[in-house]
């Protein structure tokens, strides 16, 4: 195997088509096909299944793809480290983030950092929490923003070689549209919520167990999930147009709360608490741009909650 073969293979997987990958790589399709065939012959396994609608990856291919991405990420980090030593720190900072923070806190932090420095170059990818740490371990990101704690119980405990830095402690809010029958209530209990339709987080989304724990703590069976989504914007749109109830952090709906189109129900529970953290790899020094972005994220969190983030289990990245 050589690096070029791995790069070509990864591009085909990501594009889902030999033709699209060939265009992206600037190759002829026969040349790309030959490279893939040689890689399969060397490994003596089939990596891709060709079909009329494109290509699909085999179990062998998934393993090779995972390692190809890791190798590519390590090479990129090597280039970044060399650039840093040469004073040319302009490589992209790769960030993985939860959907509930990407469009609000991360967007604000990136905008502020970009205004301060024209040298900042950033790629932000939204992923489920349970995808973030494995991707970080493979080297796909410089750092990720995920959950450190939920409902008083710790999750995402960093494994050896990983570091965690808590930047925000908040509580999920249970929300309805203005005019909903619950919107004017001064007291709302878990039992009052189960007879209404809900927009639930997806089964594998990190807010789903938080919500289920909330109902368990109140000894109330969780309501039926009529609609499921990982999209913050989709959740807000459905709630604004229907009697559905949803759960979101307040910072992603600050505008709607301020204008009164969404209402936060007076529900308080330790089960709804969560801690947001930055995770990064111990043996891969963060670039100057990455450190600027982390400081900008901390500032964004402080401005949202009005106080400095609590710094438990923190490790310096400076």
CATH number at residue 29: 1.10.10.10
Domain count, the chain: 3
Task: Give me the pLDDT at residue 305, please.
Answer: 55
DSSP 251: G
Q: Is residue 315 part of a domain?
A: no
The C-alpha atoms of residue 33 and residue 44 are separated, in whole angstroms, by 16
**What is the three-state SS of 83-110?**
HHHCCCCCCCEEEEECHHHHHHHHHHHH
Higher-confidence residue of 205 and 243: namely 243
Final residue of a domain: which of 81, 97, 112?
A: 81
Phi-psi label, residue 173: left if phi above 0, alpha if psi -120 to 50, beta otherwise: beta
The C-alpha atoms of residue 52 and residue 288 are separated, in whole angstroms, by 46
Domain housing 71: 3-81
Confidence band of 301 (pLDDT split at 50, 70, 90): confident
Q: What is the mean pLDDT of residues 49-74?
A: 83
> Do 221 and 180 sit in the same domain of this protein?
yes
- For residue 202, the domain's CATH number is 3.40.190.290
Q: What is the mean pLDDT of residues 290-317?
A: 64
What residues pair up with 138 in beta bridges, in sequence order?
none
Task: Give me the pLDDT at residue 234, please.
Answer: 92
Q: Is 184 in a helix, a strand, or coil?
A: coil
> Do 50 and 197 sit in the same domain of this protein?
no
pLDDT higher than 90, residue 261: yes
Give percent of the chain with pLDDT exceeding 90.
Answer: 25
Nearest residue to 156 (alpha-carbon basis) of 53, 39, 274, 239: 274
**96-115: per-residue pLDDT in tens?**
998 888 888 899 899 988 88
Task: Give me the pLDDT at residue 246, please.
Answer: 92
Q: Is residue 134 part of a domain?
A: yes
Q: Is residue 216 part of a domain?
A: yes
**123-176: per-residue pLDDT in tens?**
899 888 778 888 888 888 999 998 886 554 555 556 677 888 888 888 889 999
- For residue 115, the domain's CATH number is 3.40.190.10
Q: Is residue 314 part of a domain?
A: no
Q: Is residue 316 part of a domain?
A: no
**176-187: per-residue pLDDT in tens?**
999 999 999 999
């Amino acid at each position: 195997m050589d690096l070029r073969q791995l790069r070509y293979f990864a591009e085909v997987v990501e594009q889902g088509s030999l033709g699209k990958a060939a265009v992206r790589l600037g190759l002829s399709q026969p040349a790309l096909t030959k490279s893939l065939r040689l890689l399969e012959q060397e490994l003596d396994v089939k990596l891709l299944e060709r079909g009329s609608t494109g290509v699909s990856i085999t179990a062998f291919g998934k393993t090779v793809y995972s390692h190809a991405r890791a190798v590519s990420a390590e090479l990129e980090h090597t280039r970044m480290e060399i650039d840093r030593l040469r004073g040319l720190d302009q490589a992209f900072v790769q960030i993985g983030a939860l959907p509930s923070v990407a469009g609000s806190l991360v967007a604000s932090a990136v905008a502020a950092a970009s205004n301060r420095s024209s040298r900042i170059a950033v790629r932000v990818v939204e992923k489920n929490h349970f995808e973030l740490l494995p991707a970080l371990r493979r080297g796909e990101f410089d750092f990720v923003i995920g959950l450190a704690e939920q409902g008083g119980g710790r999750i995402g405990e960093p494994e050896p070689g990983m570091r965690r830095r808590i930047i925000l402690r908040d509580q999920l809010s249970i929300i309805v549209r203005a005019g909903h029958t619950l919107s004017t209530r001064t007291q709302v209990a878990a039992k009052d919520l189960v007879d209404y339709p809900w927009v639930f987080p997806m089964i594998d989304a990190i807010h789903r167990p938080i919500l289920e724990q909330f109902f368990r703590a109140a000894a109330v069976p969780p309501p039926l999930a009529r609609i499921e989504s990982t999209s913050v914007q989709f959740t807000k749109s459905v709630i604004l147009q229907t009697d559905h109830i949803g759960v979101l952090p307040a910072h992603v709906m600050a505008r709607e709360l301020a204008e009164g189109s969404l209402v936060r129900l007076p529900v308080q529970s330790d089960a709804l608490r969560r801690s947001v953290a930055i995770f990064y790899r111990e043996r891969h020094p963060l670039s100057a741009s990455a450190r600027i972005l982390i400081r900008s994220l901390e500032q964004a969190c402080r401005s949202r909650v009005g106080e400095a983030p609590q710094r438990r289990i923190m490790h310096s990245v400076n």
